[in-house]
Amino acid sequence: MKNRIGGKTEAGVFQGLSVYYCHNTHVAEVADITMEDGVPSVKRVTCAVDCGIVVNPFGAMNQIKGGVLDGIGHAMYADFGFVDGVPKSNNFDSYQMIRMGQTPQVDVYFIESDIDPTGLGEPTLPPIGAAVANAIYAATGNRINKQPLINNLEPKEKVLG
């Protein structure tokens, strides 16, 4: 099955792309999702990062994966709602964060470079929300512009084939 990005995916897998630049670092992320009973599930994220020379590959990989997973949690589930100036949620039993069972595989690719190292802690978090929203659009044809994404799905969305 040909996807909107131009590659091939398995049937029922939809992709969304987002690119981002900050702290002199370029990031591109592709989110692969499936729709399960009308709810998106992020299965894989492919992340390409141009951050100059990678001094500590293990540490860099952990920062990138942590940013991606934290970003998915915020984009999909984080509801920072307030009523009359008081938070709607005051504990984790009523405020959802990403759960271990919801974490996708994250594949990271560094662009080889000979420039000085640049930022790495922040640049991978912001683009994942847009990549997931774009994957949801690829799956359903519905554009979601408000987070948390999970609370703004159209009822009984039809998955495009």
pLDDT attached to residue 1? 47
Question: Which residues on adjacent β-strands are paired with residue 70?
Answer: none
Residue-level pLDDT at 121? 80
The domain limits of the chain are: 13-143
Q: What pLDDT score does 91 carry?
A: 78
Q: What stretches of 6-159 adopt beta strand conformation (E)?
A: 14-22, 25-36, 39-50, 82-83, 86-87, 105-110
Walking along the chain (161 residues) 10 residues at a time, the average pLDDT comes out as 61 96 97 95 97 95 96 91 85 81 96 93 94 96 93 70 57
Topology annotation, domain 13-143 = Aldehyde Oxidoreductase; domain 4 (3.30.365)
Instruction: Give the model's pLDDT for residue 43.
Output: 98
| Residue listed under structure tokens 């504990």 | 91
Tens digits of residue pLDDT in 115-142: 999 988 899 999 999 999 999 999 999 9
Picking from 142, 139, 101, 120, the residue whose alpha carbon sits closest to that of residue 47 is: 120
